[in-house]
Chains A and B, each alone.
Chain A
């Protein structure tokens, strides 16, 4: 059974700090990995998608990496802002399936 784990479950940082969110998955036969942001009571906003053939993707202050051999992905947020406060979810896609397997998320609080 494919599983996705995110550590820590919650993280609080002062504004301006750089931070890393972690995601691990049990099956290295991953097709892609997607990072989402979820604001309280809201839907998911896609942040970055990394294909299995890629090592990283960047969008603005966000950088996501993928290491299939170790079963890990990280989301790096530079110069954090209070507006970055949200729950960040990673989800793994597997070859031959449309289903995404989600982690439980990391709740990020950026303190002004």
Chain B
């Protein structure tokens, strides 16, 4: 398994501002994933982040709105840019475990409220 930490755990932000969320893993991993969970909804994948290459975004998500950095094999950041109340969600990062089964592990999440 992997131990994942996220900062901040929660934040309240004003519309039009940006917030950068950090994700730290206790071991080196190839793939890191960023998910969004809107209120009352399930998780939706935003993008997949590989170290040393541009993140791959899912349909409906763009780099200008959700820029991602992946400077090394244990760390990634997700920025939520030019926020609006619709961005209020829990943002979670996850990694795939080192077994071949494809099990994914999740961080504790960042609860974002945009006013």
Contact = CB atoms under 8 A, between A and B. Distances in A.
Contacts of B33: 98-99
Interface residues of B, number: 26
Nearest to A49: B103
Given A42-B108, A43-B109, A44-B92, A51 B45 contact: no
Contacts, number: 58
B104 A100 contact: yes
Interface in B1-18: 1, 4, 6
Contacts of A104: 41-42
Q: Is the contact region of chain A dominated by helix, strand, or loop, or is it mixed?
A: strand
Interface residues of A, number: 22
A51 B4 CA distance: 23
Given A42-B109, A43-B109, A105-B42, 7 more contacts: A31-B102, A49-B103, A91-B104, A93-B104, A98-B33, A98-B48, A99-B33
6 contacts: A34-B104, A51-B101, A91-B43, A98-B102, A99-B33, A104-B41
